[in-house]
Amino acid sequence: MVQKNSEKLPSNSIEAQGLLIKEFYKKFGKEALPIIETVCGKQGRALGLKIMKKLPDNKLTTVARAFSKSYNPNFVKIISISDENFHIQGTMCPFGLENTSRALCEAVMAIDREYFREAVSDKIELKILNTVAAGDLHCDTIYTLKE
């Protein structure tokens, strides 16, 4: 089947979710952020619970290695991985949030934050050092297990 117009269609469910999130944010602005964060956080918790059942333990290293299998290594690289820290950098947002806003990135990243908090420990902290959503050249995120 031939596409009838030049509209870019999502190539997977994450891109489709990103389109929905961006349209919701565009229509409702900052008021949408708590809703986006809450829903994304629930998605992350559900994914964290699911991965826990498949892994031999809940160490940050184990969970981070499983998590890293879900993304394209052409766009995301592991900077460091240990039982205390997981540091990754990416050049592309799987949700297509490039050049939207840092606040929108932070709301959507509740998925990953809650994934790790559920699968590893509620003492996981996520720091977003850079984000392509804010126009940075790459995303730079660190998950740290606080004692």
C-beta neighbour count of 104 within 10 angstroms: 25
Length in residues, the chain: 147
- Check residue 72 and give its pLDDT: 85
- Check residue 147 and give its pLDDT: 79
- Check residue 51 and give its pLDDT: 96
- Check residue 2 and give its pLDDT: 54
Fold topology of 14-145? Muramoyl-pentapeptide Carboxypeptidase; domain 2 (3.30.1380)
pTM of the model: 0.91
- Check residue 141 and give its pLDDT: 98
Going from N- to C-terminal start, the domains of the chain cover 14-145
Best CA proximity match to 113, nearest among 75, 141, 71, 83: 141
Kindly give the confidence (pLDDT) of every residue in the chain, 147 residues in length, as a single tens digit, with 9 standing for 90 and above. Answer: 455 667 789 999 999 999 999 999 999 999 999 999 999 999 999 999 999 999 999 999 999 999 998 888 889 999 999 999 999 999 999 999 999 999 999 999 999 999 999 999 999 999 999 999 999 999 999 999 997
- Check residue 100 and give its pLDDT: 97
Handedness of CA 57, 90, 10, 40 (dihedral sign): positive
- Check residue 113 and give its pLDDT: 98
CA gap 25, 15 in Å, rounded: 15
Let me know: does 93 contact 132? Beta carbons within 8 Å: yes
